[in-house]
């Protein structure tokens, strides 16, 4: 009987006491806790194991040896010495207004201080309470220091990015909180700060110049997520059950699992890609006859919607974003947020390659789960319509309801203020919009499908059928179909037991709009 997988908690103690699956990362944490440095920061997208790491570190420094039996750290020289642990989850302080944030911060700091055995003084500000308790708790611990763990440090600011003035106010209030650690590094045994973004002007970085950023560290690139080996070690039986449920061989199942959920890379030279832990947990805990995308349902990055514009989406090739420097990932001015850094920090883009000579990154969409969600988001922004309309358009295609599908396409392209903005208008300008719509419906689609007789512009595959698109500018839909038939683009797919549709689309160069479409069965 496979071990229980729980998906409703990221609390280490609860997971260990329940005897459920816990992917052992304690070797990483032991190395950090016993190395030369002691103050760390790491940024990862949401739902990537940051909170589980924090609660694991908390139990380590509290000396909870019984919770670590059988784990990697139990086989090391870790002393299990007990430290006062100041644990602050800044997500509890997030609020829609500055006033509510101040109340939330007070609650969060009180909870952390009293949890470490300290005393909170209502007459003092949260920041002063932190400083005083670091002093007192360290002294009570024979000057061996305290441990400070701060989870989701950036959440209060991130929730107010659409209100820059209030976001700046909150950032200033947080600055005084983090500043309390600046002159107390000698009284702090260990610090770990986690977040999604790196707000470089936030005082946690300026106040603690010795804070080591692990976000792109090769040795920590797989510290919080799941590798292929860890899937085999901890989820082998679960995957066999799921593969049988889906009617797939083990090899085909792993191939599809990787396509859906593995593609994130967090190292410069370390090229290993990893799985989203929450996505794996949700899909294996209650296996169904399909892969369940849970990127949106487990915490949509709603703040993104306030900054995305159709022309910005169309200007970025999401599978090949080149020449991105590490400094470009940092948020320095919350009044001038940029699309690519926001997409990276929220997990919609990940590292594809790193060039050590130019010290620049190439980014891409990590996997099918994220591609589908990004495409829904992008199409909604491009068309200025809700995601329900996008799903309807995709449904018309899969039903081969061509009249309604072409009508929807006309509406989609007409929603663009001026159409694609490349100086030289060509088919690829229009492909990007269509591809985004297809991906949003979990339809496998690729451009320039190379074949012996040439290449189709877009080939989309779904259990409902294969759709071969040929796009023309200032020609005709008939001309597009003539080319598809003449080149035999459908030939490689004839062995599939599914309908094959040839689809010709024509666009106008001047108006940059969709003019006509025609479809026929191969």
pTM of the entire predicted model: 0.85
Q: Could you say which DSSP state residue 495 is in?
A: T
The domain made up of 12-215 has a fold known as Rossmann fold (3.40.50)
- Domain boundaries in the chain? 12-215, 228-285, 302-368, 385-521
At residue 519, the 3 state secondary structure works out as strand
Question: Taking 90 as the threshold, does the pLDDT of residue 481 lie above it?
Answer: yes
Q: Tokens for 83?
A: 């430290």
User: Cβ(227)–Cβ(25) under 8 Å?
Assistant: no
Question: Taking 60 as the threshold, does the pLDDT of residue 355 lie above it?
Answer: yes
More confident residue, 364 or 380: 364
Question: Taking 70 as the threshold, does the pLDDT of residue 405 lie above it?
Answer: yes
- For 210-227, the pLDDT digits (tens) are 789 999 999 999 999 999
The pLDDT value recorded for residue 95 is: 87
Q: Tokens for 432?
A: 């990007």
Q: How far is CA 113 from the centre of its chain?
A: 31
- For 315-340, the pLDDT digits (tens) are 677 888 999 998 888 776 777 777 88
Please tell me the distance from the alpha carbon of residue 224 to that of residue 269, in angstroms, as a whole number. 18
DSSP states along 264-292: E---SS----EE-HHHHHHHHHS--SS--
12-215 matches 385-521 in fold = no
**Class of CATH domain 385-521:** alpha beta
């Amino acid at each position: 009987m496979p071990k229980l997988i729980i998906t409703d908690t990221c609390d280490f103690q609860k997971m260990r006491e329940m005897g459920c699956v816990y992917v052992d990362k304690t070797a990483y944490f032991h190395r950090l806790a016993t190395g030369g440095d002691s103050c760390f920061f790491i940024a990862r997208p949401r739902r990537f194991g940051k909170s589980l790491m924090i609660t694991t570190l908390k139990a380590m420094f509290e000396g909870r040896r019984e919770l670590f039996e059988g784990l990697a750290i139990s086989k090391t020289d870790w002393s299990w010495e007990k430290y006062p642990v100041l644990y602050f989850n800044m997500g509890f302080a997030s609020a829609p207004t500055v006033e509510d944030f101040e109340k939330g911060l007070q609650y969060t700091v009180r909870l952390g201080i009293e949890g470490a055995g300290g005393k909170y003084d209502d007459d003092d500000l949260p920041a002063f309470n932190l400083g005083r308790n670091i002093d007192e708790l360290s002294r009570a611990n024979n000057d061996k220091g305290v441990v400070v763990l701060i989870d989701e440090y950036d959440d209060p600011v991130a929730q107010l990015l659409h209100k820059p003035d209030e976001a700046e106010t909150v950032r200033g209030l947080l600055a005084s909180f983090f500043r309390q650690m600046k002159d107390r590094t000698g009284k702090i045994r260990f610090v770990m700060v986690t977040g999604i973004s790196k707000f470089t002007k936030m005082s946690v970085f300026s106040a603690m110049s010795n804070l080591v950023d692990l976000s792109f560290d090769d040795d920590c690139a797989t510290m919080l997520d799941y590798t292929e080996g860890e899937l085999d070690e901890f989820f082998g039986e679960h995957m066999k059950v799921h593969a049988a449920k889906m009617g797939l061989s083990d090899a085909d199942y792993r191939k599809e699992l990787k396509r859906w959920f593995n593609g994130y890379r967090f190292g410069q030279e370390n090229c290993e890609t990893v799985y989203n832990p929450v996505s794996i947990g949700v899909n294996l805990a209650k296996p169904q006859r399909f892969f369940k995308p849970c990127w949106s349902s487990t915490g949509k990055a709603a703040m993104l919607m306030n900054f995305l514009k159709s022309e910005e989406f169309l200007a970025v090739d999401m599978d090949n974003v080149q020449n991105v420097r590490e400094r470009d990932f940092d948020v320095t001015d919350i009044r001038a947020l940029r699309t690519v850094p926001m997409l990276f920090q929220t997990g919609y883009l990940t590292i594809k390659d790193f060039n050590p000579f130019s010290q620049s990154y190439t980014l891409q969409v990590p996997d099918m789960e994220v591609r589908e969600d990004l495409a829904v988001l992008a199409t909604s922004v491009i068309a200025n319509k809700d995601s329900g309309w996008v799903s309807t358009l995709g449904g018309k295609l899969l039903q081969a309801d061509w009249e309604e599908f072409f009508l929807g396409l006309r509406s989609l392209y007409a929603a663009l203020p001026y159409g694609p903005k490349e100086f030289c208008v060509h088919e690829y300008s229009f492909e990007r919009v269509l591809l985004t719509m297809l991906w949003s419906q979990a339809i496998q689609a690729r451009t320039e499908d190379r074949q012996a007789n040439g290449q189709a512009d877009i080939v989309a595959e779904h259990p409902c059928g294969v759709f071969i698109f040929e796009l023309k500018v200032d020609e005709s839909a008939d001309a597009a179909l003539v080319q598809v038939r003449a080149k035999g683009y459908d030939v490689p797919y004839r062995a599939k037991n599914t309908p094959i549709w040839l689809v010709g689309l024509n666009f106008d160069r001047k108006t940059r709009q969709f003019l006509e479409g025609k479809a026929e069965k191969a």
